[in-house]
C-alpha cells in the first residue's frame, strides 16, 4: 500500500528515524481538509511507545478534518542546513503515515501530561497546566502504519568520507 523510497541509499534506519521523532520539537501534520484540499499545520507533539500524540482545540479546521477522515501524514525535519555552494540543503527527516484517533479520559490526560513534560521538565508545573487546561483541549494519538526516514545525498557522501 505504501510506496518504497526511490532513493534507498538515502533511507535512514528505523532506529535513526525514531530518534528524529524523539528529539524533534515541531512536526507538520497533513490531513484531508475542506473540499478535499490537503491541509497541513505545524504543531508540537510527543513520540512515545511508537505513537505520536498532539493536542488541539475542540473546534476548527484540523479538529473537523481529523473527525471526518482519520488518515494522516506527519513530518519532522531534524536538520536543515542550506549549502549554497552545492545548491543543496543538508537535511534529515522522518515521515509517518497513520490513523489519528481522539483520546478520552485518562488516556487523554496522560498524553497531554507527556506532551507537557517534553516541553517543560518540571512535573509540578506540567501537572498544574494539565489540570487547568485539559478539559479545553482535544488530544489525538497517531498509530503509525508506515514510517520512513531520509537524509540528503550530501550527508550520505559526507558520512562515507568520515568512515
**Which residues make Cβ contacts (< 8 Å) with residue 150, sequence separation at least 6?**
5, 7, 10, 11, 12, 92, 93, 95
For residue 156, pLDDT beyond 90: no
DSSP classification of residue 6: S
Q: Residue 140 — pLDDT band, cuts 50, 70, 90?
A: very high
In whole angstroms, give the CA distance from residue 157 to residue 21: 23
For residue 162, pLDDT beyond 80: no
In whole angstroms, give the CA distance from residue 159 to residue 157: 5
Q: 38-43 and 46-48 as β-strands: parallel, antiparallel, unpaired?
A: unpaired
- What fold characterizes domain 8-104+140-162? Pnp Oxidase; Chain A (2.30.110)
- The string of pLDDT tens digits covering residues 3-60 is 677 777 888 999 999 999 999 999 999 999 999 999 999 999 999 999 999 999 999 9
- The string of pLDDT tens digits covering residues 53-86 is 999 999 999 999 999 999 999 999 998 888 898 8
Per-residue pLDDT at 31: 98
Highest mean pLDDT out of 4-8, 122-126, 129-133: 122-126
| Whole-Å CA distances, 156 to 8, 80, 118, 159 | 11, 14, 30, 5
- pTM (2 d.p.): 0.90
Contacts within 8 Å (CB) and 24+ apart, 2-10: 2/97, 2/145, 2/146, 5/148, 5/150, 7/150, 7/153, 9/156, 10/150, 10/151, 10/152, 10/153, 10/156
| Residue 47 phi, psi (nearest 5) | -105, 120
In whole angstroms, give the CA distance from residue 141 to residue 136: 17
Amino acid at each position: 500500500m505504501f510506496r518504497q523510497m526511490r532513493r534507498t541509499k538515502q533511507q535512514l534506519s528505523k532506529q535513526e528515524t525514531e530518534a528524529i521523532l524523539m528529539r524533534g520539537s515541531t512536526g507538520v501534520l497533513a490531513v484531508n481538509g475542506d473540499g478535499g484540499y490537503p491541509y497541513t499545520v505545524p504543531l508540537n507533539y510527543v513520540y512515545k511507545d511508537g505513537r505520536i500524540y498532539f493536542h488541539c482545540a475542540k473546534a476548527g479546521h484540523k479538529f473537523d478534518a481529523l473527525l471526518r477522515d482519520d488518515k494522516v501524514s506527519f513530518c519532522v525535519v531534524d536538520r536543515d542546513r542550506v549549502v549554497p555552494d552545492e545548491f543543496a540543503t543538508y537535511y534529515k527527516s522522518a515521515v509517518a503515515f497513520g490513523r489519528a484517533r481522539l483520546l478520552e479520559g485518562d488516556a487523554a490526560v496522560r498524553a497531554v501530561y507527556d506532551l507537557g513534560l517534553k516541553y517543560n521538565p518540571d512535573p509540578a508545573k506540567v501537572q498544574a497546566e494539565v489540570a487547568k487546561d485539559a478539559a479545553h483541549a482535544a488530544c489525538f494519538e497517531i498509530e503509525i502504519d508506515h514510517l520512513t526516514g531520509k537524509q540528503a545525498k550530501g550527508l550520505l557522501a559526507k558520512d562515507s568520507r568520515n568512515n
